[in-house]
Amino acid sequence: MAHIVVLGAGIGGMPMAYEMQEKIRKGDRVTVISNSESFHFVPSNPWVAVNWRVRDDIAFPIRPYLERKGIDFISAGAKRVHPEKNQIELMNGETVNYDYLIIATGPKLAFDEVEGLGPNGHTHSICHVDHAVSAAKSWETFCKQPGSIVVGAVQGASCYGPAYEFAFIMDTDLRRRKIRDKVPMTFVTAEPYIGHLGLGGVGDSKGLLESALRERSINWICNAKVTKVDADKMYVTEVDEKGEVKKEHVLPHNFAMMLPAFKGVDAVFGIEGLANPRGFTIVDEHQRNPKYKNIYSVGVCIAIPPMGGTPVAVGVPKTGYMIESMVTATAHNIHSELTGNPPTDKATWNAVCLADFGDTGVAFVALPQIPPRNVDWFSSGKWVHLAKIAFEKYFIRKMKTGKSEPIYEKLILKAMGIDKLK
Ligand code: FAD
Ligand code: DCQ
């Protein structure tokens, strides 16, 4: 009988565990290993950082919910994966053996690649709820003595949506506090143009996001490389299409939030054939590692090549719906293997996303993720803000009840022509 281990319990790992548990044979076991006792709904971190949410609104203890479904849970982080031995070495010194391993560890945040970047330096982060909680404290102090804001994503980042979201959310919060007039804001991004998003744009994302920044008096710098951050200044090199220096900027900041570049986690970093040079897990079209065929991987931790062709390095984002499609394909494929068949399912890589702007928001559907596309739709409105709040409640509830994809969700998305599997 097989032991299937899911490493990581985030947006990918939790649904993975539930979907896998539904697809195992009698006697097979599913175990989740995570370095934290609690689940966090990462997309709500920007709201935590401006005190629209508190930590407990978006986090809950994992153990009781998994155990109720018969899934084992170990809350000790993985120190090292040993694929030759089918073994995981834990931080607490114990080891866990597996027959199948699904790596869903999300990103390691590469703050160290820019001097002064990150919560241990001089910029805030919304990538982890702990960072968002700490940003929220500084936000209150900042609002008492407002000054300049710099917000965006650094060179090599692969997650741009939350940078725009956070810029607009801060703007909304400042207007509500009636101190927006005291806060010059600059959006700094590695993208070649506003609205590229690592996807070559979606629909008219360039036009819509430029308008939104203009309407809210947020200046921007594209093709930007952040070279250094001091306590009150950010040093930014803006390059032209050829990658040659166009302008050096020194931006004063009293509050800054920059998305870092991502890497893979230390537990797999440097394992030849399993991880690429940045530590992302290498997978084929079935989410399976080509060298270690009993290892699958889903979520932000998988390797996908950047689109390329941009003057500054810009990574391709991995959004929630895409991740869920990887999860479903993986559950189906491991089920196939358990029943003596080869894996055949492929994730669709469709991007469906809701981004909140505080009072309004934007939604997009990109099928497939990389252009040219069959569906390329980008829209904005107050409905998106409300839809995102509804989605947060819905997803957290779904992660507690353990129903990975209720039938009505499947039907709605299917009616829209959006599918998880090819
Ligand atoms: P995570 O959710 O980060 O989960 C990784 C898990 O692995 C965590 O539980 C972690 O504790 C665990 N872990 C890490 N290392 C170890 C280890 N060594 N041992 C054991 N466990 C470990 N996408 C959207 O579609 N819509 C959005 O609105 C959206 N908003 C976002 C906002 C922000 C601020 C960010 C950063 C991303 C957002 N994304 C959004 C993109 C994406 O959906 C999220 O990044 C999502 O959390 C990725 O899921 P994941 O499972 O890959 O990683
Ligand atoms: O998993 C998701 C996720 O969390 C990571 C999000 O962040 C909030 C998402 O936005 C998924 C799946 C989404 C997409 C939600 C789409 C809801 C369907 C509404 C239809 C609107 C058309 C755009």
Over the stretch 214-268, which tens digit does the pLDDT of each residue have?
A: 999 999 999 999 999 999 999 999 999 999 999 999 999 999 999 999 999 999 9
Q: What are the catalytic residues?
A: 159, 353
Q: Is 5 helix (H, G, I), strand (E, B) or coil?
A: strand
In whole angstroms, give the CA distance from residue 76 to residue 93.
9
Ligand 1 pocket test: pick from 18, 31, 42, 53 the residue with the most ligand atoms within 8 Å of its Cβ: 42
pLDDT higher than 70, residue 405: no
Residue 115 has pLDDT above 70, yes or no: yes
Ligand 2 contact via 383 beta carbon (within 6 Å): no
Q: Count the Cβ atoms, other than its own, within 10 Å of residue 154.
A: 28
Helix (H) or strand (E) holding 327: helix 320-338
In this prediction, residues 406-416 reach a mean pLDDT of 69
| Confidence band of 422 (pLDDT split at 50, 70, 90) | confident
Inform me whether the pLDDT recorded for 37 exceeds 70.
Answer: yes
How many C-beta neighbours within 10 Å does residue 321 have? 19
The Cα 393–Cα 58 span in angstroms is: 9
Neighbours of 113 (CB within 10 A): 15
Residue 305 backbone dihedrals phi, psi, to 5 degrees:
-65, 145
Per-residue pLDDT at 98 exceeds 80:
yes
List CB contacts of 103: < 8 A, sequence separation 6 or more.
7, 8, 81, 268, 281, 295, 296, 297, 298, 301
Mean pLDDT over each residue of the chain, to the nearest integer: 95
Domains of the chain, by residue range, sit at 3-108+263-345, 111-261
Residue with tokens 């490389």: 225
Taking Cα atoms as reference points, which of 145, 33, 13 lies closest to residue 87? Answer: 33
- What burial class does residue 57 get, using C-beta atoms within 10 Å of its C-beta: 0-12 exposed, 13-18 middle, 19+ buried? middle
Least confident of 128-137, 292-301, 328-337, 409-418: 409-418
Q: Each residue of 324-338: pLDDT tens digit?
A: 999 999 999 999 999
Fold match between 3-108+263-345 and 111-261?
A: yes
Specify the pLDDT at position 135.
Answer: 98
Contact 39, 11 (CB under 8 A): no
Taking alpha carbons only, the member of 313, 19, 37, 49 closest to residue 172 is 49
Is the whole model's pTM more than 0.90, yes or no? yes
Q: Which residue has the tokens 């709820």?
A: 129
Q: Is the CB of 352 under 6 A from ligand 2?
A: yes
Residue type, 162: P
Q: How far apart are CA 85 and CA 401, in angstroms?
A: 34
- Cα(317) to centroid of ligand 1, in Å? 12
Please count the CA atoms within 13 angstroms of the CA of 96 that sit on its side-chain side.
Answer: 29
In single-letter form, the type of residue at position 400 comes to K
- Name beta bridge partners: 5: 31, 101
Q: Which of 39, 300, 319 to mutate to test the pocket of ligand 2 (most atoms within 8 A of CB)?
A: 319
Q: Output the six-digit token pair for 235.
A: 């040093």
CA distance 378 to 27: 46
Cα 108 to middle of ligand 2, angstroms: 23
Atom of ligand 2 nearest to the CA of 391: 8
Q: Which two tokens stand for residue 237?
A: 């090199």
Q: What's the whole-number mean pLDDT along residues 174-183?
A: 98
- As a CATH number, domain 111-261 is 3.50.50.60
Q: Answer whether 15 contacts ligand 2 (Cβ < 6 A).
A: no
Question: Is residue 72's pLDDT more than 70?
Answer: yes
Output the pLDDT for position 407: 63
Other CB atoms within 10 A of residue 404 CB: 21
Q: Has residue 404 got a pLDDT over 80? A: no
- The ligand whose atoms approach the alpha carbon of 381 most closely is 2
Is pLDDT above 90 for 18? yes
ipTM, 2 decimals?
Answer: 0.96
Q: Which of 144, 191, 187 is nearest to 169 (CA)?
A: 187
Residue 420 pLDDT level (bands cut at 50, 70, 90): confident
Helix/strand/coil percent split, the chain, to 5? 30, 25, 45
The answer to whether 402 and 68 are in contact (CB under 8 A) is yes
pLDDT of residue 41: 98
Fold held by 3-108+263-345: FAD/NAD(P)-binding domain (3.50.50)
Quick check: CB of 165 below 6 Å from ligand 2?
Answer: no
Q: Does position 416 have pLDDT exceeding 80, yes or no?
A: no
